[in-house]
Structure 1
Amino acid sequence: MKKIIFCLFLIGILVGCSEKTETVKKEDWEVSPTFNIPITFGDGSKGEYVLVGEKGRIGFLVGSGKEGEAEAQPIIAGEGNKYMWHFWGEKEEFEGKLKVVGINEKGEEHKVLIGMSNNDKVWEYPNIGISPNNGADTHIPSGMEFPTAGLWKLNVYIGDNLFGEIIVNVKES
């Protein structure tokens, strides 16, 4: 009888432990804020670009408009779009290729597709270098495409170094 009780006790512990090890604490993701940078349009009128990311560090363009009227546009799953990346930092930080690794809210890592000017889809973009624009220390255009809707964490690397991360909410098409 003692052996049966002991076996049931062990089974209870093993079942309890296995349930705990399968439960992974989900990271609380908060969508990155948007911020505006002032611009002057070609006709001389004042306007703003809307970027998502970390002001003064990293962001990519998600909207534009007249001064005080600029709005962010949604990112749509499965639809490629052109995005202008803006980076602030030291010259040495901009040496290397731009690579964006996306992690969806299920924890699955994906290569976020970045488009080149010849419409090839790659997951690394050639050397960034220094190219000041709109108050940023450097910028680079790219296309991006997200395969599914939901929250995405973008780990942005320049060379082998994590430059920053941006969390976006990708909408259904």
Structure 2
Amino acid sequence: MIKINFQKYILLGLVLVAFVVIVDFYNDEKSASKQNEIKIDSWDVSSILKREITATDTGIKDDFVFHLGNNGKLGFQSENGIMVAEKPQRYLWFFWIDQKIFEKPLEIIGIHKKTGDEFTVFNDSEGRYLSGKGLEYAIPTLITLPEKGIWRLEVYFGKDLLGSVVVKVN
């Protein structure tokens, strides 16, 4: 008769589970570190989607411009894609995230590439957003950037950085 020592296999299983948990934790830390690298080092102007649209009631043509965030979780729509310094402009931000994230206040920080100046360009502690389909949410904003140049707009919920969009301001 073969005698099996189950205690040995149980111990081996526990060690294996502990190893998987440690590796998973390390990967989460590494992922968070990469997100911080994006915040600090990325100054490439973000990609845009641009499409000509025609207003059906007037026939006037205009451009629909959507600025994409650095991680596929956010982006914003602007009227014509041109951001002008010292001019308040409306932007509709879209988020493809879990609704629970909206329990934290939204803050958008603008950082100027050349000067390093940093300030809050939008703050919504009341959590006003428009829900859409699935995990899509939208928030209307009014943003003014004070000077020309390259700006990184970092989006935070609470103290957590969700992502950023780098834009050129004329």
> What TM-score comes out, normalization by structure 1 length?
0.60
Q: What's the offset of the Cα at 1:108?
A: 1.6
Match in the other structure for 1:57: 73
Contact between 2:48 and 2:67, CA under 8 Å: does it hold in 1? yes
The amino acid that maps onto 2:88 is G
Contact between 1:130 and 1:138, CA under 8 Å: does it hold in 2? yes
Query: Matched residue of 1:108: which SS?
Result: coil
Match in the other structure for 1:29: 43
Distance 1:162 1:132, change over 3 A: same
Match in the other structure for 2:102: 94
Indicate the percent of aligned positions where both proteins have the same amino acid.
Answer: 27
Residues in 2 aligned to 1:139 and 1:60: alpha-carbon distance in whole angstroms: 9
The amino acid that maps onto 2:99 is K
More helix by share: 2
For 1:106, which of 105, 109, 114 is the aligned residue?
114
Query: Matched residue of 1:94: which SS?
Result: helix
Contact between 1:101 and 1:109, CA under 8 Å: does it hold in 2? no
The amino acid that maps onto 1:99 is E
Number of equivalences: 126
> What TM-score comes out, normalization by structure 2 length?
0.61
Structure 1 segments of 4 or more deviating over 4 A?
none
Match in the other structure for 2:148: 149
Q: CA RMSD in A?
A: 3.3
The amino acid that maps onto 1:62 is S
The amino acid that maps onto 1:59 is G
Aligned pairs (5 A) from 1:119-138: 124-128=123-127, 131-133=130-132, 137-138=136-137
Residues in 2 aligned to 1:28 and 1:139: alpha-carbon distance in whole angstroms: 25
Structure 2, unmatched stretches of 5+, are 1-39
The amino acid that maps onto 1:95 is E
Match in the other structure for 2:16: none
For 2:92, which of 56, 61, 84 is the aligned residue?
84
Contact between 2:106 and 2:124, CA under 8 Å: does it hold in 1? yes
Residues in 1 aligned to 2:48 and 2:133: alpha-carbon distance in whole angstroms: 16
Distance 1:168 1:134, change over 3 A: farther
Query: Matched residue of 1:78: which SS?
Result: coil
Residues in 2 aligned to 1:56 and 1:135: alpha-carbon distance in whole angstroms: 15
Using the TM superposition, name which of 148-157 and 92-101 deviates more: 92-101
Distance 1:137 1:164, change over 3 A: same
Note the alpha carbon deviations across 1:21-67, whole angstroms, 9 max, x for none.
xxxxx946211011369x9x886x9x98421023841111113xxxx
Distance 1:27 1:161, change over 3 A: closer
More strand by share: 1
